[in-house]
Structure 1
Protein backbone atom coordinates (compact mmCIF):
# COMPACT_ATOMS: atom_id res chain seq x y z
CA UNK A 1 0.00 0.00 0.00
CA UNK A 2 2.88 2.33 0.77
CA UNK A 3 4.32 1.90 -2.72
CA UNK A 4 0.92 2.39 -4.32
CA UNK A 5 0.68 5.80 -2.64
CA UNK A 6 4.13 6.65 -3.99
CA UNK A 7 2.90 6.07 -7.54
CA UNK A 8 -0.60 7.47 -7.18
CA UNK A 9 -0.07 10.34 -9.63
CA UNK A 10 1.38 8.05 -12.29
CA UNK A 11 -1.49 5.58 -11.95
CA UNK A 12 -4.04 8.41 -12.00
CA UNK A 13 -2.46 9.90 -15.12
CA UNK A 14 -2.51 6.62 -17.03
CA UNK A 15 -6.08 5.85 -15.95
CA UNK A 16 -7.24 9.34 -16.97
CA UNK A 17 -5.53 9.20 -20.37
CA UNK A 18 -6.97 5.75 -21.12
CA UNK A 19 -10.46 6.98 -20.18
CA UNK A 20 -10.14 10.16 -22.24
CA UNK A 21 -8.76 8.16 -25.17
CA UNK A 22 -11.86 5.96 -25.11
CA UNK A 23 -13.91 9.14 -25.37
CA UNK A 24 -11.75 10.39 -28.21
CA UNK A 25 -12.30 7.21 -30.23
CA UNK A 26 -15.99 6.86 -29.30
CA UNK A 27 -17.59 8.64 -32.25
CA UNK A 28 -15.42 6.76 -34.73
CA UNK A 29 -16.74 3.43 -33.51
CA UNK A 30 -20.08 4.17 -31.86
CA UNK A 31 -21.16 7.60 -33.08
CA UNK A 32 -24.14 8.32 -35.33
CA UNK A 33 -21.96 8.28 -38.44
CA UNK A 34 -19.53 5.64 -37.17
CA UNK A 35 -17.50 4.16 -40.00
CA UNK A 36 -14.17 2.88 -38.63
CA UNK A 37 -11.52 2.24 -41.23
CA UNK A 38 -8.38 0.05 -41.10
CA UNK A 39 -6.20 3.01 -40.16
CA UNK A 40 -8.50 3.71 -37.19
CA UNK A 41 -8.07 0.11 -36.02
CA UNK A 42 -4.30 0.40 -36.32
CA UNK A 43 -4.20 3.70 -34.44
CA UNK A 44 -6.48 2.37 -31.70
CA UNK A 45 -4.39 -0.78 -31.31
CA UNK A 46 -1.02 0.99 -31.14
CA UNK A 47 -2.21 3.62 -28.68
CA UNK A 48 -3.71 1.12 -26.26
CA UNK A 49 -0.80 -1.30 -26.60
CA UNK A 50 1.48 1.56 -25.57
CA UNK A 51 -0.73 2.60 -22.67
CA UNK A 52 -1.12 -0.99 -21.50
CA UNK A 53 2.63 -1.51 -21.67
CA UNK A 54 3.31 1.56 -19.54
CA UNK A 55 0.63 0.56 -17.04
CA UNK A 56 1.96 -3.00 -16.82
CA UNK A 57 5.47 -1.70 -16.19
CA UNK A 58 4.24 0.63 -13.48
CA UNK A 59 2.33 -2.16 -11.74
CA UNK A 60 5.38 -4.44 -11.85
CA UNK A 61 7.52 -1.71 -10.28
CA UNK A 62 4.97 -1.25 -7.49
CA UNK A 63 5.07 -5.01 -6.87
CA UNK A 64 8.88 -5.05 -6.98
CA UNK A 65 8.72 -7.58 -9.83
CA UNK A 66 11.89 -6.24 -11.40
CA UNK A 67 12.76 -9.33 -13.43
CA UNK A 68 9.38 -9.35 -15.17
CA UNK A 69 9.64 -5.58 -15.54
CA UNK A 70 12.93 -5.93 -17.42
CA UNK A 71 11.59 -8.61 -19.74
CA UNK A 72 8.40 -6.76 -20.62
CA UNK A 73 10.38 -3.54 -20.96
CA UNK A 74 12.11 -4.90 -24.04
CA UNK A 75 8.76 -4.67 -25.83
CA UNK A 76 9.26 -0.89 -25.91
CA UNK A 77 11.86 -1.45 -28.63
CA UNK A 78 9.02 -2.56 -30.89
CA UNK A 79 6.03 -0.72 -29.42
CA UNK A 80 7.76 2.69 -29.47
CA UNK A 81 8.71 2.70 -33.16
CA UNK A 82 5.35 1.14 -34.04
CA UNK A 83 3.52 3.92 -32.23
CA UNK A 84 5.51 6.73 -33.83
CA UNK A 85 5.39 5.14 -37.30
CA UNK A 86 1.61 4.83 -37.07
CA UNK A 87 1.31 8.45 -35.97
CA UNK A 88 3.47 9.56 -38.91
CA UNK A 89 1.40 7.54 -41.36
CA UNK A 90 -1.82 9.08 -40.05
CA UNK A 91 -0.30 12.57 -40.38
CA UNK A 92 0.40 11.81 -44.05
CA UNK A 93 -3.12 10.48 -44.53
CA UNK A 94 -4.66 13.58 -42.94
CA UNK A 95 -2.57 15.84 -45.20
CA UNK A 96 -3.56 13.85 -48.29
CA UNK A 97 -7.22 14.12 -47.35
CA UNK A 98 -6.92 17.86 -46.75
CA UNK A 99 -5.09 18.44 -50.01
CA UNK A 100 -7.60 16.39 -52.02
CA UNK A 101 -10.59 18.23 -50.54
CA UNK A 102 -9.07 21.61 -51.31
CA UNK A 103 -9.89 22.73 -47.76
CA UNK A 104 -6.41 22.11 -46.40
CA UNK A 105 -5.48 20.36 -43.17
CA UNK A 106 -5.86 22.54 -40.08
CA UNK A 107 -4.14 19.80 -38.04
CA UNK A 108 -1.08 19.60 -40.29
CA UNK A 109 1.32 21.22 -37.82
CA UNK A 110 -0.05 19.45 -34.73
CA UNK A 111 0.00 16.08 -36.51
CA UNK A 112 3.50 16.51 -37.91
CA UNK A 113 5.05 18.00 -34.80
CA UNK A 114 3.32 15.51 -32.46
CA UNK A 115 4.98 12.71 -34.43
CA UNK A 116 8.41 14.30 -34.03
CA UNK A 117 7.85 15.14 -30.36
CA UNK A 118 6.62 11.66 -29.55
CA UNK A 119 9.65 10.12 -31.21
CA UNK A 120 11.99 12.52 -29.41
CA UNK A 121 10.54 11.68 -25.98
CA UNK A 122 10.94 7.95 -26.57
CA UNK A 123 14.44 8.37 -27.98
CA UNK A 124 15.53 10.50 -25.02
CA UNK A 125 14.08 7.89 -22.65
CA UNK A 126 16.41 5.29 -24.12
CA UNK A 127 19.33 7.65 -24.43
CA UNK A 128 19.03 8.46 -20.71
CA UNK A 129 18.10 4.96 -19.59
CA UNK A 130 20.77 4.92 -16.87
CA UNK A 131 18.99 7.78 -15.11
CA UNK A 132 16.08 5.56 -14.21
CA UNK A 133 13.72 8.15 -12.75
CA UNK A 134 14.19 10.50 -15.68
CA UNK A 135 13.91 7.55 -18.06
CA UNK A 136 10.55 6.66 -16.54
CA UNK A 137 9.34 10.25 -16.67
CA UNK A 138 10.21 10.52 -20.37
CA UNK A 139 8.26 7.38 -21.21
CA UNK A 140 5.25 8.35 -19.11
CA UNK A 141 5.26 11.90 -20.45
CA UNK A 142 4.24 10.53 -23.86
CA UNK A 143 0.78 10.10 -22.37
CA UNK A 144 0.47 13.89 -22.17
CA UNK A 145 0.62 14.05 -25.98
CA UNK A 146 -2.22 11.55 -26.28
CA UNK A 147 -4.23 13.26 -23.57
CA UNK A 148 -4.22 16.61 -25.36
CA UNK A 149 -5.38 15.14 -28.67
CA UNK A 150 -7.92 12.74 -27.15
CA UNK A 151 -9.36 15.44 -24.90
CA UNK A 152 -10.00 17.67 -27.92
CA UNK A 153 -12.01 14.95 -29.69
CA UNK A 154 -13.78 13.86 -26.50
CA UNK A 155 -14.90 17.41 -25.71
CA UNK A 156 -16.12 18.09 -29.24
CA UNK A 157 -17.96 14.75 -29.25
CA UNK A 158 -19.68 14.81 -25.86
CA UNK A 159 -19.88 18.46 -24.78
CA UNK A 160 -22.09 20.48 -27.18
CA UNK A 161 -20.76 23.94 -26.19
CA UNK A 162 -17.29 22.93 -27.35
CA UNK A 163 -18.76 21.88 -30.64
CA UNK A 164 -21.03 24.89 -31.19
CA UNK A 165 -19.15 27.62 -29.35
CA UNK A 166 -22.25 28.48 -27.29
CA UNK A 167 -20.11 29.38 -24.27
CA UNK A 168 -19.27 32.56 -26.13
CA UNK A 169 -20.53 33.27 -29.65
CA UNK A 170 -17.34 35.17 -30.47
CA UNK A 171 -15.24 32.02 -30.13
CA UNK A 172 -15.26 28.84 -32.17
CA UNK A 173 -16.12 25.72 -30.17
CA UNK A 174 -13.23 23.77 -31.67
CA UNK A 175 -10.84 26.49 -30.58
CA UNK A 176 -12.26 26.39 -27.07
CA UNK A 177 -11.84 22.60 -26.97
CA UNK A 178 -8.24 22.92 -28.13
CA UNK A 179 -7.55 25.56 -25.51
CA UNK A 180 -9.13 23.41 -22.79
CA UNK A 181 -6.93 20.49 -23.82
CA UNK A 182 -3.80 22.62 -23.78
CA UNK A 183 -4.57 24.10 -20.37
CA UNK A 184 -5.22 20.63 -18.95
CA UNK A 185 -1.95 19.25 -20.33
CA UNK A 186 0.01 22.20 -18.96
CA UNK A 187 -1.64 21.83 -15.54
CA UNK A 188 -0.72 18.16 -15.38
CA UNK A 189 2.79 18.93 -16.56
CA UNK A 190 3.25 21.58 -13.88
CA UNK A 191 1.97 19.18 -11.24
CA UNK A 192 4.64 16.60 -12.03
CA UNK A 193 7.31 19.26 -12.47
CA UNK A 194 6.58 20.91 -9.12
CA UNK A 195 6.76 17.55 -7.38
CA UNK A 196 10.20 16.79 -8.81
CA UNK A 197 11.80 19.46 -11.04
CA UNK A 198 14.88 17.31 -11.68
CA UNK A 199 12.99 14.36 -13.11
CA UNK A 200 9.52 15.75 -13.79
CA UNK A 201 10.41 18.26 -16.50
CA UNK A 202 9.50 15.88 -19.37
CA UNK A 203 5.82 16.14 -18.36
CA UNK A 204 5.99 19.92 -18.50
CA UNK A 205 7.85 19.81 -21.82
CA UNK A 206 5.19 17.51 -23.25
CA UNK A 207 2.49 19.89 -22.03
CA UNK A 208 4.16 22.82 -23.78
CA UNK A 209 4.22 20.93 -27.09
CA UNK A 210 0.68 22.00 -28.01
CA UNK A 211 1.05 25.79 -27.56
CA UNK A 212 4.48 25.51 -29.18
CA UNK A 213 2.92 23.78 -32.19
CA UNK A 214 0.21 26.43 -32.35
CA UNK A 215 2.89 29.12 -32.43
CA UNK A 216 4.54 27.33 -35.34
CA UNK A 217 1.17 27.13 -37.10
CA UNK A 218 0.63 30.87 -36.67
CA UNK A 219 4.12 31.62 -37.95
CA UNK A 220 3.72 29.41 -41.03
CA UNK A 221 0.29 30.90 -41.67
CA UNK A 222 1.70 34.42 -41.63
CA UNK A 223 4.16 33.40 -44.36
CA UNK A 224 1.55 31.48 -46.37
CA UNK A 225 3.34 28.17 -45.86
CA UNK A 226 0.55 25.98 -44.50
CA UNK A 227 -0.69 24.80 -47.89
CA UNK A 228 2.84 24.08 -49.17
CA UNK A 229 3.54 22.08 -46.01
CA UNK A 230 0.29 20.18 -46.48
CA UNK A 231 1.24 19.42 -50.09
CA UNK A 232 4.71 18.19 -49.09
CA UNK A 233 3.45 15.91 -46.33
CA UNK A 234 0.53 14.77 -48.48
CA UNK A 235 2.88 13.81 -51.33
CA UNK A 236 4.50 11.12 -49.17
CA UNK A 237 3.58 7.46 -49.40
CA UNK A 238 1.77 6.16 -46.32
CA UNK A 239 3.34 2.66 -46.38
CA UNK A 240 6.84 4.00 -47.08
CA UNK A 241 6.49 6.61 -44.35
CA UNK A 242 5.47 3.91 -41.89
CA UNK A 243 8.39 1.66 -42.83
CA UNK A 244 10.96 4.46 -42.85
CA UNK A 245 9.95 5.92 -39.48
CA UNK A 246 9.74 2.50 -37.84
CA UNK A 247 13.17 1.47 -39.16
CA UNK A 248 14.77 4.78 -38.18
CA UNK A 249 13.48 4.90 -34.62
CA UNK A 250 14.05 1.19 -34.03
CA UNK A 251 17.65 1.59 -35.17
CA UNK A 252 18.18 4.60 -32.92
CA UNK A 253 16.70 2.87 -29.89
CA UNK A 254 18.63 -0.33 -30.43
CA UNK A 255 21.91 1.50 -31.02
CA UNK A 256 21.48 3.99 -28.19
CA UNK A 257 19.71 2.06 -25.48
CA UNK A 258 21.26 -1.37 -25.65
CA UNK A 259 24.91 -1.86 -24.75
CA UNK A 260 26.68 -4.39 -26.93
CA UNK A 261 26.65 -7.08 -24.28
CA UNK A 262 22.95 -6.44 -23.62
CA UNK A 263 22.07 -7.07 -27.26
CA UNK A 264 22.83 -10.70 -26.53
CA UNK A 265 21.59 -11.12 -22.96
CA UNK A 266 18.82 -8.49 -22.90
CA UNK A 267 18.69 -5.03 -21.38
CA UNK A 268 16.37 -3.66 -18.68
CA UNK A 269 13.88 -0.95 -19.47
CA UNK A 270 12.68 0.79 -16.32
CA UNK A 271 9.75 2.98 -15.50
CA UNK A 272 10.36 4.66 -12.18
CA UNK A 273 8.44 7.29 -10.30
CA UNK A 274 10.15 10.70 -10.21
CA UNK A 275 11.60 11.35 -6.78
CA UNK A 276 9.14 12.95 -4.39
Structure 2
Protein backbone atom coordinates (compact mmCIF):
# COMPACT_ATOMS: atom_id res chain seq x y z
CA UNK A 1 0.00 0.00 0.00
CA UNK A 2 1.32 3.52 -0.78
CA UNK A 3 2.05 5.79 2.14
CA UNK A 4 0.14 8.67 0.58
CA UNK A 5 -2.75 9.19 -1.86
CA UNK A 6 -2.42 10.32 -5.49
CA UNK A 7 0.04 7.54 -6.27
CA UNK A 8 0.45 8.57 -9.93
CA UNK A 9 0.78 12.30 -9.28
CA UNK A 10 4.46 12.41 -10.25
CA UNK A 11 3.66 11.14 -13.74
CA UNK A 12 1.01 13.81 -14.21
CA UNK A 13 3.44 16.50 -13.02
CA UNK A 14 6.11 15.36 -15.48
CA UNK A 15 3.49 15.30 -18.23
CA UNK A 16 2.50 18.86 -17.29
CA UNK A 17 6.09 19.99 -17.83
CA UNK A 18 6.09 18.42 -21.30
CA UNK A 19 2.75 20.04 -22.14
CA UNK A 20 4.04 23.42 -20.93
CA UNK A 21 7.07 23.16 -23.23
CA UNK A 22 4.74 22.38 -26.15
CA UNK A 23 2.40 25.25 -25.25
CA UNK A 24 5.09 27.88 -24.85
CA UNK A 25 7.35 26.74 -27.68
CA UNK A 26 6.19 29.29 -30.29
CA UNK A 27 6.01 32.28 -27.97
CA UNK A 28 8.90 31.56 -25.60
CA UNK A 29 11.28 28.69 -26.36
CA UNK A 30 11.50 29.49 -30.08
CA UNK A 31 12.41 33.09 -29.20
CA UNK A 32 14.48 32.30 -26.11
CA UNK A 33 17.07 35.04 -26.63
CA UNK A 34 14.44 37.74 -27.11
CA UNK A 35 12.39 36.89 -24.01
CA UNK A 36 12.46 39.17 -20.99
CA UNK A 37 14.43 38.08 -17.95
CA UNK A 38 11.25 37.77 -15.90
CA UNK A 39 9.94 35.10 -18.26
CA UNK A 40 13.20 33.18 -17.93
CA UNK A 41 13.11 33.33 -14.14
CA UNK A 42 9.49 32.21 -14.00
CA UNK A 43 10.06 29.38 -16.48
CA UNK A 44 13.06 28.04 -14.58
CA UNK A 45 11.59 28.34 -11.08
CA UNK A 46 8.17 26.96 -12.07
CA UNK A 47 9.79 23.97 -13.77
CA UNK A 48 11.91 23.41 -10.68
CA UNK A 49 8.80 23.53 -8.49
CA UNK A 50 7.02 20.89 -10.59
CA UNK A 51 10.12 18.67 -10.50
CA UNK A 52 10.32 19.08 -6.73
CA UNK A 53 6.67 18.06 -6.33
CA UNK A 54 7.20 15.10 -8.65
CA UNK A 55 10.22 14.03 -6.60
CA UNK A 56 8.24 14.22 -3.38
CA UNK A 57 5.39 12.18 -4.83
CA UNK A 58 7.70 9.55 -6.29
CA UNK A 59 9.87 9.22 -3.18
CA UNK A 60 7.01 8.65 -0.74
CA UNK A 61 5.36 6.07 -2.97
CA UNK A 62 8.68 4.28 -3.29
CA UNK A 63 8.86 4.30 0.52
CA UNK A 64 11.99 6.44 0.45
CA UNK A 65 10.85 8.42 3.45
CA UNK A 66 14.25 9.98 4.11
CA UNK A 67 14.43 11.40 0.60
CA UNK A 68 10.84 12.60 0.84
CA UNK A 69 11.57 14.48 4.06
CA UNK A 70 14.75 15.99 2.60
CA UNK A 71 12.82 17.27 -0.42
CA UNK A 72 10.13 18.60 1.90
CA UNK A 73 12.69 20.59 3.87
CA UNK A 74 14.22 21.84 0.62
CA UNK A 75 10.78 23.09 -0.44
CA UNK A 76 10.74 25.42 2.58
CA UNK A 77 13.63 27.33 1.02
CA UNK A 78 12.68 26.87 -2.62
CA UNK A 79 9.08 28.05 -2.35
CA UNK A 80 10.06 31.71 -1.77
CA UNK A 81 12.23 31.49 -4.90
CA UNK A 82 9.32 30.01 -6.86
CA UNK A 83 6.99 32.78 -5.69
CA UNK A 84 9.57 35.44 -6.59
CA UNK A 85 9.80 33.94 -10.08
CA UNK A 86 6.03 34.17 -10.45
CA UNK A 87 6.11 37.84 -9.42
CA UNK A 88 8.77 38.52 -12.05
CA UNK A 89 6.21 37.75 -14.76
CA UNK A 90 3.83 40.35 -13.35
CA UNK A 91 6.62 42.91 -13.30
CA UNK A 92 7.60 42.07 -16.89
CA UNK A 93 4.00 42.44 -18.08
CA UNK A 94 3.61 45.76 -16.26
CA UNK A 95 6.74 47.16 -17.87
CA UNK A 96 5.84 45.82 -21.32
CA UNK A 97 2.27 47.18 -21.27
CA UNK A 98 3.05 50.62 -22.78
CA UNK A 99 4.82 49.19 -25.86
CA UNK A 100 3.86 45.54 -26.39
CA UNK A 101 0.73 45.16 -28.58
CA UNK A 102 -0.62 42.19 -26.65
CA UNK A 103 0.00 43.63 -23.19
CA UNK A 104 -1.43 46.99 -24.19
CA UNK A 105 -4.76 45.17 -24.42
CA UNK A 106 -4.36 42.35 -21.91
CA UNK A 107 -1.48 43.25 -19.59
CA UNK A 108 -3.57 44.65 -16.75
CA UNK A 109 -6.26 42.00 -17.21
CA UNK A 110 -3.74 39.16 -17.04
CA UNK A 111 -2.28 40.68 -13.89
CA UNK A 112 -5.77 40.72 -12.36
CA UNK A 113 -5.95 36.98 -13.05
CA UNK A 114 -2.38 35.99 -12.15
CA UNK A 115 -1.54 38.45 -9.39
CA UNK A 116 -3.98 37.14 -6.75
CA UNK A 117 -2.77 33.62 -7.57
CA UNK A 118 0.45 34.41 -5.68
CA UNK A 119 -1.55 34.69 -2.46
CA UNK A 120 -3.41 31.48 -3.28
CA UNK A 121 -0.10 29.66 -3.80
CA UNK A 122 1.22 30.99 -0.49
CA UNK A 123 -1.91 29.81 1.33
CA UNK A 124 -1.76 26.35 -0.25
CA UNK A 125 1.89 25.87 0.65
CA UNK A 126 1.38 27.13 4.18
CA UNK A 127 -1.45 24.62 4.68
CA UNK A 128 0.62 21.82 3.15
CA UNK A 129 3.44 22.37 5.62
CA UNK A 130 1.12 22.96 8.58
CA UNK A 131 -0.71 19.68 7.82
CA UNK A 132 2.36 17.64 6.94
CA UNK A 133 1.36 15.01 9.53
CA UNK A 134 -2.00 14.51 7.76
CA UNK A 135 -0.95 12.81 4.51
CA UNK A 136 -4.14 13.35 2.51
CA UNK A 137 -4.53 17.05 3.32
CA UNK A 138 -0.78 17.56 2.91
CA UNK A 139 -0.77 15.96 -0.53
CA UNK A 140 -3.89 17.78 -1.71
CA UNK A 141 -2.48 21.19 -0.75
CA UNK A 142 0.81 20.57 -2.54
CA UNK A 143 -0.83 19.11 -5.66
CA UNK A 144 -3.18 22.09 -5.88
CA UNK A 145 -0.23 24.47 -6.36
CA UNK A 146 0.27 23.62 -10.09
CA UNK A 147 -3.38 24.40 -10.88
CA UNK A 148 -2.93 28.21 -11.10
CA UNK A 149 -0.26 27.49 -13.73
CA UNK A 150 -2.79 25.76 -15.99
CA UNK A 151 -4.74 28.71 -17.53
CA UNK A 152 -1.82 30.09 -19.58
CA UNK A 153 -0.78 26.57 -20.61
CA UNK A 154 -4.21 25.30 -21.65
CA UNK A 155 -5.09 28.64 -23.21
CA UNK A 156 -2.21 28.32 -25.66
CA UNK A 157 -3.17 24.80 -26.74
CA UNK A 158 -6.96 24.69 -26.92
CA UNK A 159 -8.19 26.21 -30.21
CA UNK A 160 -10.72 29.00 -29.78
CA UNK A 161 -13.99 28.43 -31.71
CA UNK A 162 -14.56 31.16 -34.27
CA UNK A 163 -18.09 31.70 -32.98
CA UNK A 164 -16.68 32.97 -29.68
CA UNK A 165 -14.72 35.76 -31.33
CA UNK A 166 -17.45 36.93 -33.70
CA UNK A 167 -18.37 40.53 -32.94
CA UNK A 168 -15.87 40.80 -30.08
CA UNK A 169 -14.76 44.29 -29.14
CA UNK A 170 -11.20 43.28 -28.27
CA UNK A 171 -8.51 43.81 -30.94
CA UNK A 172 -7.15 40.31 -30.20
CA UNK A 173 -10.34 38.44 -29.21
CA UNK A 174 -8.98 34.91 -29.65
CA UNK A 175 -6.39 35.45 -26.91
CA UNK A 176 -9.02 36.64 -24.45
CA UNK A 177 -11.13 33.58 -25.03
CA UNK A 178 -8.12 31.28 -24.79
CA UNK A 179 -7.43 32.72 -21.32
CA UNK A 180 -11.05 32.13 -20.29
CA UNK A 181 -11.01 28.55 -21.58
CA UNK A 182 -7.73 27.91 -19.78
CA UNK A 183 -9.17 29.19 -16.52
CA UNK A 184 -12.28 27.07 -17.02
CA UNK A 185 -10.13 23.97 -17.56
CA UNK A 186 -8.17 24.62 -14.35
CA UNK A 187 -11.39 25.17 -12.39
CA UNK A 188 -12.87 21.94 -13.78
CA UNK A 189 -9.78 19.90 -12.87
CA UNK A 190 -9.75 21.33 -9.34
CA UNK A 191 -13.47 20.56 -8.95
CA UNK A 192 -13.01 16.98 -10.19
CA UNK A 193 -10.13 16.38 -7.78
CA UNK A 194 -12.24 17.70 -4.93
CA UNK A 195 -15.22 15.52 -5.92
CA UNK A 196 -13.01 12.43 -5.86
CA UNK A 197 -11.88 13.04 -2.26
CA UNK A 198 -14.28 15.56 -0.70
CA UNK A 199 -13.36 14.59 2.85
CA UNK A 200 -9.73 15.68 2.46
CA UNK A 201 -9.90 17.70 -0.73
CA UNK A 202 -10.62 21.13 0.73
CA UNK A 203 -7.51 22.62 -0.94
CA UNK A 204 -8.90 21.68 -4.36
CA UNK A 205 -12.28 23.24 -3.53
CA UNK A 206 -10.66 26.47 -2.34
CA UNK A 207 -8.51 26.52 -5.47
CA UNK A 208 -11.51 26.03 -7.76
CA UNK A 209 -13.44 28.85 -6.09
CA UNK A 210 -10.42 31.16 -6.06
CA UNK A 211 -9.63 30.56 -9.73
CA UNK A 212 -13.27 31.23 -10.60
CA UNK A 213 -13.04 34.56 -8.76
CA UNK A 214 -9.76 35.45 -10.47
CA UNK A 215 -11.31 34.64 -13.85
CA UNK A 216 -14.04 37.16 -13.05
CA UNK A 217 -11.32 39.69 -12.22
CA UNK A 218 -9.97 39.23 -15.76
CA UNK A 219 -13.14 40.80 -17.20
CA UNK A 220 -13.99 43.21 -14.37
CA UNK A 221 -11.19 44.47 -12.14
CA UNK A 222 -8.63 44.16 -14.93
CA UNK A 223 -10.56 46.62 -17.10
CA UNK A 224 -10.78 49.42 -14.53
CA UNK A 225 -8.75 52.62 -14.61
CA UNK A 226 -7.71 52.11 -10.98
CA UNK A 227 -6.16 48.74 -11.82
CA UNK A 228 -4.38 50.24 -14.83
CA UNK A 229 -2.92 52.87 -12.49
CA UNK A 230 -1.80 50.10 -10.14
CA UNK A 231 0.01 48.38 -13.02
CA UNK A 232 1.79 51.61 -13.94
CA UNK A 233 2.84 51.95 -10.31
CA UNK A 234 4.13 48.37 -10.30
CA UNK A 235 6.17 49.01 -13.44
CA UNK A 236 8.03 51.79 -11.62
CA UNK A 237 9.12 49.59 -8.71
CA UNK A 238 12.58 48.08 -8.55
CA UNK A 239 13.27 44.41 -9.24
CA UNK A 240 14.51 43.94 -5.69
CA UNK A 241 11.36 45.44 -4.17
CA UNK A 242 8.92 43.31 -6.18
CA UNK A 243 10.79 40.02 -6.08
CA UNK A 244 11.81 40.62 -2.47
CA UNK A 245 8.21 41.18 -1.40
CA UNK A 246 7.09 37.96 -3.11
CA UNK A 247 9.98 36.04 -1.57
CA UNK A 248 9.10 37.45 1.86
CA UNK A 249 5.51 36.24 1.45
CA UNK A 250 6.82 32.81 0.47
CA UNK A 251 9.20 32.75 3.43
CA UNK A 252 6.36 33.70 5.77
CA UNK A 253 4.28 30.84 4.38
CA UNK A 254 7.16 28.42 4.95
CA UNK A 255 7.86 29.58 8.50
CA UNK A 256 4.28 29.83 9.74
CA UNK A 257 3.43 26.47 8.18
CA UNK A 258 6.46 24.82 9.79
CA UNK A 259 5.65 26.25 13.22
CA UNK A 260 1.95 25.34 12.96
CA UNK A 261 2.80 21.75 12.04
CA UNK A 262 5.16 21.06 14.93
CA UNK A 263 4.22 18.09 17.05
CA UNK A 264 3.39 19.17 20.62
CA UNK A 265 6.03 18.16 23.14
CA UNK A 266 5.34 14.81 24.67
CA UNK A 267 2.78 13.89 22.00
CA UNK A 268 2.95 10.35 20.70
CA UNK A 269 3.83 9.82 17.05
CA UNK A 270 0.87 9.07 14.81
CA UNK A 271 1.50 6.13 12.45
CA UNK A 272 1.15 6.91 8.73
Q: Taking structure 2 as the reference length, what is the TM-score of the superposition?
A: 0.80
Match of 1:214 in 2: 215
What CA distance in whole angstroms lies between the structure 1 residues aligned with 2:219 and 2:40? 32
Match of 2:268 in 1: none
8 Å CA contact 2:110–2:218 kept in 1: the answer is no
What CA distance in whole angstroms lies between the structure 2 residues aligned with 1:44 and 1:235? 23
8 Å CA contact 1:185–1:207 kept in 2: the answer is yes
Matched, 1:68 2:71: no
The 1:30–1:230 alpha-carbon spacing in structure 2 relative to 1, beyond 3 Å, is: closer
Match of 1:83 in 2: 82
The 1:35–1:87 alpha-carbon spacing in structure 2 relative to 1, beyond 3 Å, is: same
Of 41-50 and 176-185, deviating more is 176-185
The 1:100–1:186 alpha-carbon spacing in structure 2 relative to 1, beyond 3 Å, is: same
Match of 1:134 in 2: 137
Give the drift of 1:110.
Answer: 1.4
Match of 1:57 in 2: 56
Could you list the per-position Cα deviations for residues 236-274 of structure 1 after superposition, in whole angstroms to 9, with x for gaps in the alignment? 222221123213421441243147999xxxxxxxxx9xx
Could you list the per-position Cα deviations for residues 41-95 of structure 1 after superposition, in whole angstroms to 9, with x for gaps in the alignment? 2212101110011001111111111111111211111221111111112212211
Matched, 1:151 2:147: no
The 1:154–1:33 alpha-carbon spacing in structure 2 relative to 1, beyond 3 Å, is: farther
Q: Taking structure 1 as the reference length, what is the TM-score of the superposition?
A: 0.79
* Unpaired stretches in structure 1, ≥5 consecutive residues: 263-271
Matched, 1:236 2:237: yes
Give the drift of 1:6.
Answer: 5.9
Q: 2:117 aligned to 114, 117, 131, which one?
A: 114
What CA distance in whole angstroms lies between the structure 2 residues aligned with 1:70 and 1:169? 49
Could you list the per-position Cα deviations for residues 180-205 of structure 1 after superposition, in whole angstroms to 9, with x for gaps in the alignment? 21222122112211111122232233
SS where residue 93 of structure 2 aligns? helix
What CA distance in whole angstroms lies between the structure 1 residues aligned with 2:261 and 2:129? 14
RMSD over aligned CA atoms reads: 3.1
Structure 1 residues 175-214: aligned runs within 5 Å: 175-214=176-215
8 Å CA contact 1:17–1:146 kept in 2: the answer is no
8 Å CA contact 1:23–1:153 kept in 2: the answer is no
Matched, 1:256 2:257: yes
8 Å CA contact 1:186–1:204 kept in 2: the answer is no
Q: 2:126 aligned to 113, 123, 128, which one?
A: 123
The 1:190–1:38 alpha-carbon spacing in structure 2 relative to 1, beyond 3 Å, is: same
What CA distance in whole angstroms lies between the structure 2 residues aligned with 1:235 and 1:209? 28
What CA distance in whole angstroms lies between the structure 2 residues aligned with 1:82 and 1:32? 24
